[in-house]
Amino acid sequence: MRAIVGDVPLAGSPFPPIADYAFLSDCEVTALIAPSGNVEWLCAPRLDSPSVFATLLDRDAGGFRLGPADASVPAARRYLPGTMVLETTWGTTTGWVIVRDAL
């Protein structure tokens, strides 16, 4: 759990605020995507199944990321209009990487 004072997380926590996570769902499976682009929570094949990725609870519990190795923080994130498709954009020294996540 995060230690917080009011709405401000205490320094030193490895976990971003829960409000900074993006939510993906296909009405059967759900996932939480961290601000870094990591899939940090995923239960499959159903919402009540055991977690496949659980980095949200424990940094050593496993996660998944598809993004450039030399950029740890995306330049931008947004849902494509009218969809549950998350678009994450990273700027690199040689160009841009755009990843679209959907379930």
C-alpha to C-alpha distance for 8 and 17, rounded to whole angstroms: 9
Here the tokens at position 87 are: 């678009």
Is the sign of the CA dihedral 63, 1, 9, 86 positive or negative? positive
- CA-wise closest residue to 23 among 83, 91, 95: 83
Q: Is 52 helix (H, G, I), strand (E, B) or coil?
A: strand
pTM: 0.74
If one compares 29 and 54, the residue with the highest pLDDT of the two is: 29
Residue positions counted in the chain: 103
pLDDT at residue 11 tops 70: no
Backbone angles phi, psi at 3, to 5 degrees: -90, 125
